Amino acid sequence: MTVALIAVQLEIPMAVLDGGDRLRAHVEAAGAAAGDAARGAADRLRVFPAATGHMVPLALGPAAARRARTLGDAMAQIALRRPWSVARGLLDARSPRADHAVILAFAADVDRWMRATFAAIARRHRATVVAGSYLRVRADGGVANSSLTFGPDGRLVATTDKVNLVPFLEDRRAGGLALSRGAAEAVPVIDCGWGRLATLICYDAFREPHTASERFVPVAARVDAAGADVIANPAANPWPWQLGWIHADPGEHVTRAEQWRNEGLPATLAGLHHARWGVTAHLVARLLDLRFEGASEILRRDGDRVTQVARAADHRHAGHVAVVAELGAPSYTSPRQPSPEPSP
């Protein structure tokens, strides 16, 4: 059965954060443009980048937040927009933190935005849609980095919580968001008709940890054993793509791009036994003091050999990659082959 595998490399400039409707239109337009590159397939999978939903509070917040210099300053401006909701969030939060209070204050609005936006994209294009990720408040009050998957009818078919938290950014160490971890055994593997799909959010697709002292659980082997044919990998890399890797070992000289290839989904997929395809969609953005870079790609495994079938042309700007895959067979056709990424 043929399926179009589409990675949407979404660029979010500050200008499109001027309201939830404008951000929605921007995301919908990016999804539509990507779909044009993979005509002729019986089914479609669209994967959007991780952290897409993290930007929604900026869009829903006051203009002063978008004029801020740093994320911390923007959060303060957002809190001023809903002081009573933030105060209630501070009382209700599992962790009594100001950032969690702001997340809780906007949680219902962000959740509605994510569901409405990506369900509509799935219905409009009759596609399975992996809706990047957003900060979701769980029933226990914890905040998780979560990804929603919608079927072609717009129905929510899976919710995936990120298992491995990026050290110093998402975990409880200094500077981290103190997010709640998902359980590796709870990561869904869903039957999409054209094949079985699992979502591994960004770091969850890595085969090894960034640092020696962190808690890290290999997730890919679990979904592979559960029969996943395709691994969706919504990603958001906050480090310079072509500069030295911040967590490199002493004496190791690799760029983030090289480290991603050596330890991320390309390396992980090579060690699996069932899954044959991987779809990584990167967020690219320069917002406040935040930078996201990365080259989206589609990978195919044959035995222990992994081929990069398609890659985005630029790690700093919008684009998409698409491949029409024949699941269960070694052949494929690619209606669009992006040019190689330019050298820095």
The predicted structure's pLDDT at residue 217: 98
Is the pLDDT at 343 greater than 70? The verdict is no
Angle ∠(282,6,54) on CA atoms, nearest 5: 35
Q: 281: pLDDT confidence band, cut at 50, 70 and 90?
A: very high
Residue written as tokens 């395709």?
A: 230
The predicted structure's pLDDT at residue 342: 40
| Domain 2-332 indexed as CATH 2.40.110.10 | no
153-174 pLDDT tens trace: 999 999 999 999 999 999 988 8
The Cα 198–Cα 142 span in angstroms is: 23
The predicted structure's pLDDT at residue 66: 95
The Cα 39–Cα 23 span in angstroms is: 26
Q: Where are the alpha helices (DSSP H) in 152-289?
A: 220-225, 256-263, 265-270
Q: Are strands 2-11 and 277-287 parallel, antiparallel or unpaired?
A: parallel
| 8 A C-beta contact, residue 330 and residue 302 | yes
Q: 340: pLDDT confidence band, cut at 50, 70 and 90?
A: very low
Residue written as tokens 């089914």?
A: 43
The predicted structure's pLDDT at residue 334: 34
**How much is the average pLDDT of 41-68?**
94
User: Side chain identity at 122, as an amino acid letter?
Assistant: A
The predicted structure's pLDDT at residue 262: 98
- Phi, then psi, of 31 in degrees rounded to 5: -65, -40
Q: 327: pLDDT confidence band, cut at 50, 70 and 90?
A: confident
Secondary structure string (H, E, C) spanning 10-43 = EECCHHHHCCHHHHHHHHHHHHHHHHCCCCCCCE
What average pLDDT does the structure give for the chain? 90
User: Side chain identity at 201, as an amino acid letter?
Assistant: I
CA distances from 195 to 5, 191, 264, 328 (A): 12, 6, 23, 9
114-148 pLDDT tens trace: 999 999 999 999 999 999 999 999 998 889 999 99
The Cα 107–Cα 142 span in angstroms is: 12
Range in 9-23, 74-88, 204-218, 228-242 the model is least confident about: 74-88
The predicted structure's pLDDT at residue 332: 34
The predicted structure's pLDDT at residue 261: 98
3-state helix, strand, coil in the chain (%, to 5): 30, 25, 45
What percentage of the chain exceeds 90 in pLDDT?
76
pTM (two decimals): 0.92
The predicted structure's pLDDT at residue 34: 80
| 8 A C-beta contact, residue 324 and residue 333 | yes
- Phi, then psi, of 244 in degrees rounded to 5: -60, 145
